[in-house]
């Protein structure tokens, strides 16, 4: 059997109790027929109890968008993996490019966050991706390799077994510019090959999601590529019909 696909919504700092409820109710009902694929929503922290209660007993899982690398202590404003695990959190995005670029998270910190998540049985969704400048200067692969190797160096390649990777070219996030299916496939293959150099089984099993302006209109082509195992969806995850169509694109 091949890899099970995943469609994960990243709500970022959007939502309200009313909007979330309306969105989650239709997503749960309209994606009920999904088979061999997972649907996840990564919500802002205050909405976790709401997501937990609306999604319990459903096929839709929920996760966090960030996690502290620390377990507890004097870290004002931070939220630990232990706290999230108390609520039954299943996934946490780590190293999203907005965290890297706007909040100064480097590769080492991202690797520590990855570790903290796994220590609490939370599946990290590790984001990798290059900026436009890096792509244009031919450094994309080197940048992505550095982001990936930071985790492998800290935890060993086997740690990737209980994780998901998301390739998100920074130039495609929220810009409406999607990588072409072939451009994305090339990078996904690069990532898988790099893991395979150390462990082929881990490379075969790991789900690599594409993120960056995925919409209902381009999801089918992207997800059809051999090394693209689903999507990490920002803007379109807030629009019920869009998100549902992207989830259903895994069923082709």
Which residues contact ligand PGA by CB under 6 A? Answer: 10, 168, 173-174, 211-214, 232-236
CB 47, min distance to ligand PGA, A: 17
- Minimum Å gap between C-beta 165 and ligand PGA is 13
Nearer CB in complex with ligand PGA: 37/166: 166
Which CB, 22 or 101, lies closer to ligand PGA? 101
Residue with smaller CB distance to ligand PGA, 150 or 233: 233
Query: Using CA atoms, how far apart are residues 218 and 146, in angstroms rounded to an integer?
Result: 29
In the DSSP assignment, the letter for residue 3 is P
Q: Which of 98, 105, 112, 168 is catalytic?
A: 168
Q: Pick the closer one to ligand PGA by CB: 20 or 157.
A: 20
Distance CA 8, CA 198 (A): 27
- Angstrom distance (rounded) from CA 212 to CA 177: 8
CA angle 46, 112, 110 (to 5 degrees): 70
Phi, psi of 59 (to 5 degrees): -90, 0
Catalytic-residue membership of 96: yes
Closest approach of ligand PGA to the CB of residue 93, in Å:
8
- 161 assigned to active site: no
Neighbours of 28 (CB within 10 A): 16
Out of 96, 98, 130, 188, pick the active-site residue.
96
Among 251, 250, 200, residue whose Cα is nearest residue 229: 250
**Cα 147 vs. chain centroid, distance in angstroms?**
15
Give yes or no for a contact between 48 and 62, defined as CB atoms under 8 angstroms apart: yes
Q: What burial letters (b/e) apply to 102-136, b meaning 16+ CB within 10 Å?
A: eeebebebbbbbbbbbbebebbbbbbbbbbeebbe
Annotated catalytic residues are 96, 168
């Amino acid at each position: 059997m091949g890899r099970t696909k995943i469609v994960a919504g990243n709500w970022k700092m959007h939502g309200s109790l009313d909007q979330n409820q309306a969105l989650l109710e239709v997503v749960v009902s309209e994606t009920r027929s999904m088979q061999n694929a997972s649907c996840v929503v990564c919500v802002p922290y205050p909405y976790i109890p709401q997501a937990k209660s609306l999604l319990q007993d459903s096929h839709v899982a929920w996760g966090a968008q960030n996690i502290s690398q620390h377990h507890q202590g004097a870290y004002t404003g931070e939220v630990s993996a232990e706290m999230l695990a108390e609520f039954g959190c299943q996934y946490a995005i780590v190293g999203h490019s907005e965290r890297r670029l706007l909040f100064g998270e480097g590769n080492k910190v991202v690797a520590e966050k990855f570790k903290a998540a796994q220590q609490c049985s939370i599946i990290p969704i590790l984001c990798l991706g290059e900026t436009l400048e890096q792509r244009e200067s031919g450094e994309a692969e080197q940048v992505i390799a550095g982001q990936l190797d930071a985790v492998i160096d800290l935890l060993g390649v086997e740690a990737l077994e209980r994780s998901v990777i998301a390739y998100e070219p920074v130039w495609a996030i929220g810009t409406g510019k999607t990588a072409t299916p072939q451009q994305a496939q090339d990078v996904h293959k690069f990532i898988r090959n790099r893991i395979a150099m150390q462990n082929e089984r881990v490379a075969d099993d790991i789900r690599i999601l594409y993120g960056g302006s995925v919409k209902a209109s381009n999801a089918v082509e992207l997800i059809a590529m051999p090394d693209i195992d689903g999507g990490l969806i920002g803007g379109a995850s807030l629009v019920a019909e869009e998100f549902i169509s992207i989830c259903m694109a895994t069923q082709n």
